[in-house]
Amino acid sequence: MDSNSRKERSMNRFQSTGCYRWIVLGIIMMGTFMAILDSSIVNVALPHMMSTFGVNRDKIEWVVTAFMLASAVAMTLAGWLAGQLGYKVLYLSSLFIFTASSAACALAWSYNSLIAARVLQAVGGGAIQPIGMAIMADLFEPHERGRALGIWGTGIMVGPAIGPTLGGYLTDWFSWRAIFSVNIPVGIVTIVSGLVIMKSESASKRRQVPFDGWGFGFLSVALIAGLIALSNGQEKGWTSHYILTCLALTIVGLVFFVTVEASVSHPLLDLKLFLIRNFTLSMILAIFRAIGLFGGLFLLPLFLENLVGYTTIQAGLWMMPGAVTVGIMMPFAGRLTDRYSYRWLVTMGTALTGLSLILYGNLDPLSRALYIIGPQVVRGIGLAFMMTPLLTAALNAVPVERVAMASSFLNVAQRVGGSFGIALLNTFVTNSAHVHAVRLGELLPTQSNGFYRLALKSSSLHFFRSHGILPSGQLKALTASTSVILHHAQVLGFENGFVFAGLFLIAGVPLSMLLKSYSRQPVV
């Protein structure tokens, strides 16, 4: 008994020291890094999964889609669950579900078992990030949160950048199952560390309220339908019945969700939060940040792989300078956040991130390394100065009892913003490339430009071959010419896409100027 009492007193003394908070921050950072990493590490292994389970591309895409949908829905519940279970129990339970389901993914014996395990993995992973933010807000005073969020955010920003490269190496050297197995030892160590070190909140600090089932149901419909539409709109056509139905369900779901939230006593999302200027602006700017993040993580690897000819691993290595830069700058940006105005830091970060994308406006397959790496470094600095003060401004603006709710929906906004950014840029680049292909095709020597437009629109010469209207010599020449035109049109499409993404981000600068700064205590 005496031994147990001494251990308890020793632990209590440790938990009251300053280093306790930073150790807990490390535990939160590890869990968040794993959850974020798993959203990008899987894509490179999809062809290997297709071979293992004998399914086509459309089916195997659900390994990614199911994770994205379940993760977004799980995020919306994090705030309510935190009130029922407490931060420690919810965080470690989510981490346990994520780790156990990672093992299930690695051991999957069929396609259906893999999808089921991925859904469970997303349920656990979806709650880790928002509840981690809430724990930090509870541990650190407002004038210290910038530094804490800067360190924690390193995992968020670096994870997606190294995911494809790490996934490629693990798949090539071991198997696709290794991309899930790698989570198990890290997850176990993190869970055990959390159980031993983290202290539970008192029951009086929990905000136990009835579950808003109707609000959750309508929001889930809106999120699932909206994310499916954004993910498949380019492939199936934005005006197809399938996509229009999804978009209609999204609008209807959101309308009913807002109606319910405005009328119930204990809403899933308190609409009064949007009366807080910094919270509302942070939600909007989160979408702009997602454009900046995925403008680099989505467009640049596609450019390097499709037009330069790099493998996924090679393209990932070219992305490393940006990941290293943002990893170095996040803690520095966090410290500045605790000292200076949110407004100017977010404005600078938004402008730099936009500028970095515009610098890719002249990128081509023969560009030197400096022209690929340089804008990444600028983008890394910009994202660090955009993200850290933005999250700090949002968390410092809301009441303490609403922090878990606010962090949940801030993360949902970033998830939806990322999907929106990818869909927007993908559509813009495709349409821009088509316009350039038709324009360049008119320069070819031909008696009927209409046929060339049709060929270039479909990105193939199937139309010409099927009609046999040209002599074979001219057909070969046309094949070579059209191939060059299509390639150059795609380069121009990507260049336009980078500039568009950059200008979109810079359009957010006036919004960042509206952020309200709060007085803070000096940081020693």
> What pLDDT does 100 receive?
94
Helix axes 277-294, 342-358, angle to 10 degrees: 20
Residues 6 or more apart in contact with residue 184 via CB below 8 angstroms: 99, 102, 103, 106
Q: Which CATH superfamily is domain 271-425+497-524 in?
A: MFS general substrate transporter like domains (1.20.1250.20)
**Nearest CA to 250 among 231, 270, 269, 263?**
231
Name the residue ranges covered by the structural domains of the chain: 1-201, 211-265, 271-425+497-524, 433-495
Give the confidence band of 469 by pLDDT, cuts at 50, 70, 90.
very low
Question: pTM to 2 decimals?
Answer: 0.80
Q: What percent of the chain has pLDDT over 70?
A: 84
Cα 453–chain centre separation: 37
Tokens of 95: 């981490």
Q: Could you give the CA distance from residue 237 to residue 153 in angstroms, rounded to a whole number?
A: 36
The pLDDT tens digits of the residues spanning 411-465 come to 888 878 877 877 788 888 878 877 777 777 776 665 445 555 555 555 444 443 4
Q: What is the CA radius of gyration of the chain?
A: 25
Q: Could you give the CA distance from residue 239 to residue 227 in angstroms, rounded to a whole number?
A: 16
Contacts 24+ apart (CB under 8 A), 396-403: 396/142, 396/145, 396/278, 396/518, 397/276, 397/277, 397/278, 397/279, 397/282, 397/516, 397/518, 398/273, 398/276, 398/279, 400/137, 400/138, 401/207, 402/270, 402/273, 403/133, 403/134, 403/137, 403/138
Tracing tokens 């994870």 back to the chain, one arrives at 159
Distances 219 to 122, 291, 354, 405, 522 between C-alpha atoms, Å: 17, 23, 31, 14, 41
The pLDDT tens digits of the residues spanning 293-345 come to 666 667 888 788 777 877 777 777 888 888 888 888 888 888 888 887 788 88
Tokens of 450: 């209409």
The whole-chain average pLDDT of the chain stands at 80
The pLDDT tens digits of the residues spanning 116-174 come to 999 999 999 888 888 888 888 888 887 888 888 888 888 777 777 777 778 888 888 88
Q: 131-140, 196-205, 275-284, 514-523: which has the minimum mean pLDDT?
A: 514-523
Query: Which H or E element spans position 332?
Result: helix 312-337
Per the CB < 8 A criterion, the answer to whether 197 and 30 are in contact is: no
Query: Which H or E element spans position 341?
Result: none
Q: Could you give the CA distance from residue 26 to residue 294 in angstroms, rounded to a whole number?
A: 26
Hey, how many other C-beta atoms are within 10 angstroms of the C-beta on 391? Answer: 29
Query: Which H or E element spans position 320?
Result: helix 312-337
Cα-Cα-Cα-Cα torsion 308, 314, 319, 320, nearest 10 degrees, comes to -150
Give the confidence band of 470 by pLDDT, cuts at 50, 70, 90.
very low
Domain 1-201: which CATH number of 3.40.50.2300, 1.10.730.10, 1.20.1250.20, 3.30.70.1070: 1.20.1250.20
